[in-house]
A and B are shown apart, each in its own frame.
Chain A
């Protein structure tokens, strides 16, 4: 057991030590020490493992991966952990969003020590999901990540936060039962739980066992895709993301949607049976991008609008991801598609977290979440003690990023995704969806317009102080959006280098500012304006109002699950 293996496990056990320490100090020490313990815990549990893991970067680049078993037991029976480029990227993604969200939560709620401990446990489970090479361990870590998510959603002060958490819990836990059944099926025919042994076991199968393998894989894939919220499986998302506290919403959209998707890559690599399922999933992703953006355009609640956008952007990510698997991850097209998919996931995490935090702060200040009636949100913020309109500026950074305008990260990631998809049906779907994104963000930005009737606020004697921590979180996220945009080439090279080092050498970034692409960007922006015009016209409003009422009930969650399972099974048959 050498030092490399200890470093490898540090993102799993350091956050746990920190969480245990915080809980211990909470029940034994006075309040003043608790505060210090939380800061120390974040430092030890989140920043330190990140620095340690980055030291593994050269090893990953040279060898591809590092493999070890927990406790040093034999590989055939112990839990195998494999650290590769994707694990490193997922740990980075989790830390990049969790830190600003945590900073925001200090003053805007729920900033108590339990919350910090939960965040740390969640980060530890994310790191484990990224590294594990064992099917049952994946199940346990997904459950752990899920359970922290349910609890974090339920901390919301909004009425129905408990209900949103409960429906997510119900559908997600029921789905995980099927995951367990799938694990059982694969264990029965291969006699092992680690990916490597399952892979070699599946190669020698014949006859009826092929069907068992196929259906077991289906039962594993669909529950994980439920966490990712691809279209028929996405009904739980809107309530959960809009009712949660703002910091948690940022985390849910930014990190928790993407981690299972990229962990699934290893499951898909198990058998050629699985990779044949990737194509229909990518089509589902493209359809998701388009349908969800229309639903987003029809929402009147600001946070629900953002939640639908999360589904839509996940559609982009999933369609590139599915095509990457279809082409094969080790091929040139495949690795570029996968890099594009992760790059968009990363930038989406940044700008969506920024949007959730700024919109959450602004709607809280104005005490109104309706996009149609809320105007002059900036005035409300100033009344809360904000001198420089940083919230509005940071919101604009986020809005421009998600609308894919240069020089922000969204422009580069979306262009990379659509460029790699060029020539397929997905391309058309995603281009239309981009116009819809622009339109709905014009709609959302109107809340910062000065209102016609100046709002009357009760005079407050003492000047309120605007929390510095909120501004710090906004600025961190906005700057990272800008930085990833400005250094896009380095970022893409970094991601491609981790996914497949050979491809990084042949990468060429000349397509971003070609004439075609710039024309396409401006056409998309114009089409967005036109679409916005249609949306505010009378017939448009009618249609949108009709769409807004299309919400599923509790049974429909399960209906979506069954439909997805049935459709994919039919395709595989």
Chain B
């Protein structure tokens, strides 16, 4: 009885939602071209980025990128808060939780020699590639977010691969880099106010060849921010090396 009711509800929900989105998805209206043509002509001179995607997400719509970075920051803060709370929570309270029981959370339970060797050898290479994607974001596909995630995965590799803790896998150090890069990001975003170009304006807009510098700067900061914060979260989920 309960099951049939559940299935009826589910079918009803899916049906309504499908009916509501079909007219939007199936519209045969031709794609707009105004913005495309505008970007084709002006993107390079406006922002200095050869890669038009970069000119959109760090130039014209940098505010949205800042918003997404903040979403990531807040959600990682929340995740860390829940993880730390759960670590402290005493076992007698049967709260709904999203993590494994403490005894099932052993850090080294699944550690094998094969994993260690592969991860520790792969780590530095991936790290280098991450920085490449980050630094060349204004020319080739990539950029801060993508590079940051690759850097984070490299740090996770290194954390998996080595028994001993290095500076790079220490959550305290990573947390410091994270907060520093966040502060620099906000300062960079607002610096345009003092250079006559306004909030999120390009403050180094002097020559024609120089102006990509701002995009490169933003890519690096966002990459560091994303990379370190995701790495901190992953290391905390792997069992938290905070105390070591």
Contacts and interface: CB of A to CB of B under 8 A. Distances in A.
Contacts of A26: 179
B21 A9 contact: no
A563 B96 CA distance: 29
B3 to A, nearest CB: 12
Contacts of B125: none
Interface of A: 1, 5-6, 9, 12-13, 16-17, 20-21, 23-24, 26-28, 68, 70-74, 76-79, 114, 117-118, 121, 125, 128, 136-137, 140-141, 143-144, 147-148, 150-151, 154-155, 159-160, 162-163, 166, 178, 181-182, 184-185, 187-192, 208-209, 211-212, 214-216, 218-219, 555-556, 558-559, 561-563, 565-566, 569
Interface string B40-52: 0010001000000
B21 A163 contact: no
Interface string B169-205: 0001001101110110111011011001111111000
B113 interface: no
Given A20-B183, A28-B176, A140-B67, A151 B198 contact: no
A568 to B, nearest CB: 9
Contacts of A148: 74
Interface in B17-76: 17, 19-21, 23-25, 27-29, 31-35, 38-39, 42, 46, 59-64, 66-68, 70-71, 73-75
A121 B66 CA distance: 12
A23 B179 contact: yes
Given A9-B199, A162-B95, A216 B60 contact: no
Given A24-B182, A77-B39, A178-B21, A136 B175 contact: no
A121 B96 contact: no
A1 B68 contact: no
Given A72-B198, A147-B71, 8 more contacts: A1-B201, A16-B189, A20-B187, A27-B172, A70-B198, A76-B35, A166-B98, A569-B20
A200 to B, nearest CB: 12
B69 to A, nearest CB: 10
A78 to B, nearest CB: 5
B81 interface: yes
B78 A151 contact: yes
B131 to A, nearest CB: 23
Given A159-B96, A565-B20, A566-B20, A76 B10 contact: no
A189 B25 CA distance: 11
Contacts of B24: 181-182, 184-185, 212, 215-216, 219
Given A118-B74, A140-B68, A147-B74, A79 B20 contact: no
5 contacts: A1-B198, A20-B185, A70-B198, A141-B67, A159-B94
Interface of B: 6, 9-10, 12-13, 16-17, 19-21, 23-25, 27-29, 31-35, 38-39, 42, 46, 59-64, 66-68, 70-71, 73-75, 77-78, 81-82, 93-98, 172, 175-176, 178-180, 182-183, 185-187, 189-190, 192-193, 196-202
A555 B6 contact: yes
Contacts of A77: 35, 38-39, 60
Given A77-B35, A191-B32, A151 B13 contact: no
Contacts of B31: 188
Given A140-B64, A565-B16, A72 B197 contact: yes
Given A555-B10, A558-B13, A6 B23 contact: no
A184 B215 CA distance: 27
Contacts of A159: 93-96
A76 B46 CA distance: 13
A159 B95 CA distance: 5
A6 B176 contact: no
A301 B200 CA distance: 47
A391 B215 CA distance: 54
B182 A219 contact: no
Contacts, number: 214
Contacts of A187: 32
Contacts of A212: 23-24, 27, 29
A151 B85 CA distance: 13
B197 A1 contact: yes
A125 B96 CA distance: 30
Given A27-B179, A159-B95, A215 B23 contact: yes
Contacts of A117: 77
A71 B199 contact: yes
A215 B18 CA distance: 12
A556 B10 CA distance: 10
The interface centre, meaning the residue of B28, B33, B81, B93 with most chain A CB atoms within 10 A of its CB, is B81
B199 A6 contact: yes
Nearest to A17: B186
A232 to B, nearest CB: 12
A565 to B, nearest CB: 5
Contacts of B182: 20, 23-24
B192 A71 contact: yes
